[in-house]
Structure 1
Amino acid sequence: MKVLFFFLAFLGLVSCKNYPFAKNGHFIDGVDEYFNLTQQANVWLYMDYLAYNGNYGVRLDSLYPKDRDIFKRLGLKGRAVRVLFTAKPKNRLNYHLAVLQHRRGGFDYSHYEKFQGKQRFYFYKDFELDFLVVRHVVIPSAHHKLMSMVYYVDKDKHANDGFKMLNYLAEINAQELQLDEGFRNFWQITDCHEDKVNLTFKIRQELTKKKKIVYLQMYTLYENSRGISYAKILTRKDPDSLSLALCPNSYALEYRNERDQLLHTDTLYIAE
């Protein structure tokens, strides 16, 4: 019985120290947004974030080495929050960004500074830990829930720019949360405004029947290059057709699994 007691006590101690990740989180290379189907959450990022490759990128199920100590220093306790992701961007490896949802009320940010924009606001505080500069942003949503954005960087690599990289992301995510624009499981960018063509086309539903999750990625084809213009997370519940407003052009439609393996490619041409 004593052995069982100490084993359970050990498990309890470990669980208190763990930081659970939100399940069903998704990130698609080339898309400046994180999606979580379970939490119905979108988080805007920069274009140079990539899926985790062992050295840098967006981690969806494990922490970077310094994350835990920083979270503890900020008072973000393991089971009181869920981690959406923690990331190092490709072209700016000198900083980290982690985003967490608060699962419980009671986090005290009354001593934080307030940023007030035209349609958004958030609270922030700066810390130093060892040789790191840390900024913690707390964003209240329209439903009074809290989201934390934690930014940290080596002191000798910290530019005196007022945390410009983080502040922009904090503003656009605060605006989306506070205007309550709703969850999206798709992303789109266009390079035309007046010449869009409304189009409905069939999707490869046989792929979603085999896989729980399929990423549909649409690329605009240029003469010597291509650029992603649309992405959607497909599930078995999705209808067998998709309606979009697209610019006249040639497109490649790629279906990929969660490990970024190509499942199928189609082409699409829209005349002017």
Structure 2
Amino acid sequence: MTPPDPAEATLALLAVMARLRDPDSGCPWDVAQDFASIAPYTIEEAYEVADAIRRGPDPAMLRDELGDLLLQVAYHARMAEERGWFAFADVAAGITAKMIRRHPHVFGAAEIADAAAQTAAWEDAKAAERAARAETGALAGVATALPALTRAEKLTKRAARVGFDWPDAAGVLDKLAEETAELRAELPAADPARLADELGDMLFVMANLARKLGLDPESCLAQANAKFERRFAAVEAALAERGQAPADAGLEAMEAEWRAAKARGL
């Protein structure tokens, strides 16, 4: 099958978006939306792309999810164009220029020795762009809308670039033990504000530990979530074979089935 022409496909998408947003003949729901109301869908679609990738090779699913995400870009660009701010083409031209600017070793005369050097050059370019926008400080520009664990990892990475970091993962584990002791000390008083503060410190240190180990904390937690779902489903199935529901089986029986599921490698 002949693949669609990229320019024609893009123009068709933008035409559909313009029609949906037409105040006279468009979709009432689409016409009523604004940047704030659409933003949650944009985030959701990005997560669905990541989920499609995590599930494994399914080209059709990935294509569809990328289409949903592209629609979000077209949606925001259309609303911006209606306000006279910019259009979809400006978005595409802007990111194209940025990629060329951040890859002088590909599009210019500069040379990059390896991937590590490229990462450093990339960060330097981003820092220069932040400075041009008058965003000062090592932590400037880390989006507040990021998932908290991801943002914690990015904040600590920025701080590490200027030398504010533990020497190794063992140092982070020592800090985690310290924060765990502080949380434990707050348990008798059970002050919600203090508990939230100490638990937040623990989670922040865990994000730091993931960075020191070269791991993505969100991916680690996603894997743990999936593992919990598999094992708990196995617990429910085992209990159902005996005619029991989890709520009626009791913790001891559920724990025994949990250990059995773990032993089976679930």
TM over 0.5: no
Larger of the two Rg values belongs to structure: 2
**TM bracket (short chain):** under 0.3
Of the two structures, which has the highest relative contact order with CA contacts closer than 8 Å and spacing of 6 or more?
Answer: 1
TM-score by length of 1: 0.23
More helix by proportion, 1 or 2? 2
More strand by proportion, 1 or 2? 1
